[in-house]
Amino acid sequence: MFHLIHSQLTGKTKFAMQNILVTGGCGFIGSEFIRQQLALDDGSTIINLDKLTYAGNLENLVNVADHPRYVFHRGDIADRECVETLMNRYAIEAVVNFAAESHVDRSLLDSAPFVKTNVVGTQVLLDAARTADVSRFLQVSTDEVYGSLGATGYFVEETPLAPNSPYSASKAAADMLVRSYHHSFGFPAIITRCSNNYGPYQFPEKLLPLFISNLLADIAVPIYGTGLNVRDWIHVSDHCRGIDAALRHGTPGEVYLFGGRTEKTNIEITHLLLKLLTKPESLMRHVVDRLGHDNRYAVDCSKSERELGWRPRVTFEQGLLETIQWYRENQSWMASVKSGDYLEYYSRQYQSAKPVTH
Ligand code: NAD
Ligand code: DAU
């Protein structure tokens, strides 16, 4: 089942798994993970299970769609029959669960799909993976389960969970289920929690792609509240290298944090984008704040550095420049994802957003 091989990503010898079920692989982070895995020579076959919600896009994987070690299956992680069939058909040895409803603002409009996919979907996957006796189950989680920080301090693995939005509450619930399966059944599960990702192929409802896309079209950018909220930014490729390291070298039952050690306020990010895109400050628009808006996220990822030999490699300056360049060069990708659902959501979320002045 396992093969010892040399990892191109971490430079270490590691266990290679033959068949990995990746869920949500057509989204922003899952598609980067699949591209990275298929670029390795360790022979793992990736079975990508994705429902293709508004956030899932087959175009994100168009360059690897015909790869001999890649299989796509459209389906729902909450569909027990579908998940069990895939586990058996492909003799799955490891699961990496990216599939989720992932946007805080949408969870404030309607939390039902968040509970269905993030909680029930995870529970269905856990049961099927346990029956299939997989060697590893990696739950891709978020630093948002810890809630909000004040001006100082960092999230560490043991920080008590205190989720503030329906999105983060559903992710915390899923994490608790994963934890319980390890505790009760000795199920070989690992949880990773990461800070805010940026990079290519991110759906333009999140801060960076939304602001880049608006500014490229000379449309004002909606800054929630004061814009002084802080996020810790990490390039998506660094996050996915971390997930690979945790999958291969992590200890079942453990939690690993990833972050970029790059704290920025939303206002700082906006000024940087205006400068890099040579756009005027008149395109900044303060709008009514997000409900329950978390003040600050910042991650202490020293455990992952120490135990997994992982380090973030991409500096924010370089990563942001490349990300802007990617969106400039891929405006047809952007146009295609700004479909009916996106336009409907945008108008619901922002047309009624009242401008405020400070
Ligand atoms: P995304 O919204 O871009 O992609 C989610 C993917 O999951 C889509 O392809 C979608 O079609 C699929 N999906 C949704 N419901 C499904 C279901 N029921 N069955 C099968 N597939 C389904 O999300 P993302 O930003 O790539 O995030 C991926 C994971 O990483 C999520 O679990 C998220 O909580 C976590 N995470 C995200 C960030 C971030 O900054 N984006 C940071 C930390 C953790
Ligand atoms: O920390 C990890 C989390 O990061 C992930 O778990 C989530 O899936 C991911 O969406 C992200 O959550 P955030 O809520 O931090 O990301 P978002 O891009 O929605 O917002 C980032 C900051 O920008 C936040 O302070 C809110 C602000 N913002 C966002 C949008 C969309 C605005 O000011 N205006 C906006 O229009």
Q: Which residues are catalytic?
A: 143-144, 167
Residue 162 near residue 147 (C-beta atoms within 8 A): yes
Among protein residues, the one with the nearest Cα to ligand 2's atom 29 is 207
Other Cβ atoms closer than 10 A to 315: 12
> For ligand 2, is residue 263 a contact (CB within 6 Å)?
no
**What residues flank ligand 1, with Cβ below 6 Å?**
23-24, 26-30, 49-53, 55-56, 76-78, 98-100, 102, 117, 121, 140, 142, 171, 194, 196-197, 203
> For ligand 2, is residue 44 a contact (CB within 6 Å)?
no
Task: Tell me the backbone φ, ψ of residue 288, rounded to 5 degrees.
Answer: -55, 145
For residue 42, what pLDDT band results from cuts at 50, 70 and 90?
A: confident
User: How far is ligand 2, taken at its centre, from the CA of residue 307, in Å?
Assistant: 29
Q: What local confidence, expressed as pLDDT, does residue 354 receive?
A: 62
Among protein residues, the one with the nearest Cα to ligand 1's atom 29 is 98
In a domain, residue 183? The reply is: yes
CATH number, domain at 112? 3.40.50.720
In a domain, residue 83? The reply is: yes
> For ligand 2, is residue 196 a contact (CB within 6 Å)?
yes
Question: Quick one: which ligand is closest to 50's CA?
Answer: 1
> For ligand 2, is residue 223 a contact (CB within 6 Å)?
yes
> How far is the CA of 157 from the CAs of 161, 192, 323, 353, in angstroms?
10, 9, 29, 36
H-helix segments, 54-158: 80-89, 104-109, 112-114, 122-131
For residue 357, what pLDDT band results from cuts at 50, 70 and 90?
A: low
In a domain, residue 220? The reply is: no
Q: In this structure, is the dihedral angle defined by the CA atoms of residues 261, 266, 270 and 271, taken in order, positive or negative? A: negative
In a domain, residue 346? The reply is: no
Q: Considering its fold, how many domains does the chain have in total?
A: 1
In a domain, residue 320? The reply is: no
Question: Quick one: which ligand is closest to 72's CA?
Answer: 1
User: How far is ligand 1, taken at its centre, from the CA of residue 24, in Å?
Assistant: 6
Task: Tell me the backbone φ, ψ of residue 95, rounded to 5 degrees.
Answer: -125, 135
Q: pLDDT tens across 299-322, in order?
A: 999 999 999 999 999 999 999 999
In a domain, residue 353? The reply is: no
Q: Buried b / exposed e across 15-43, counting CB within 10 Å, b at 16+?
A: bbbbbbbbbbbbbbbbbbbbbbbbeeebe
User: How far is ligand 2, taken at its centre, from the CA of residue 245, in Å?
Assistant: 26
Whole-model pTM?
A: 0.95
The yes-or-no verdict on residue 6 having pLDDT over 50 is no
CA separation for the pair 97, 168 (Å, rounded) = 16
> For ligand 2, is residue 298 a contact (CB within 6 Å)?
no
What mean pLDDT comes out for the span 334-343? Answer: 88
Name the 3-class secondary structure at 322: helix
Q: pLDDT tens across 52-86, in order?
A: 999 999 999 999 999 999 999 999 999 999 999 99
For residue 297, what pLDDT band results from cuts at 50, 70 and 90?
A: very high
Q: pLDDT tens across 205-232, in order?
A: 999 999 999 999 999 999 999 999 999 9
> How far is the CA of 357 from the CAs of 100, 222, 228, 284, in angstroms?
35, 12, 14, 11
CA separation for the pair 57, 53 (Å, rounded) = 8
What mean pLDDT comes out for the span 179-206? Answer: 98
Structural domain boundaries enclosing 174 = 3-199+234-263+292-315
Among protein residues, the one with the nearest Cα to ligand 1's atom 36 is 142
CA separation for the pair 257, 103 (Å, rounded) = 20
Mutate to test the pocket of ligand 1, among 22, 23, 28, 264 (most ligand atoms within 8 A of CB): 28
Atom of ligand 1 nearest to the CA of 76: 19
What mean pLDDT comes out for the span 12-34? Answer: 85
Q: In this structure, is the dihedral angle defined by the CA atoms of residues 119, 125, 131 and 136, taken in order, positive or negative? A: negative
Query: If we measure between CA atoms, which residue out of 119, 246, 256, 150 comes closest to residue 195?
Result: 256
Question: Quick one: which ligand is closest to 243's CA?
Answer: 1
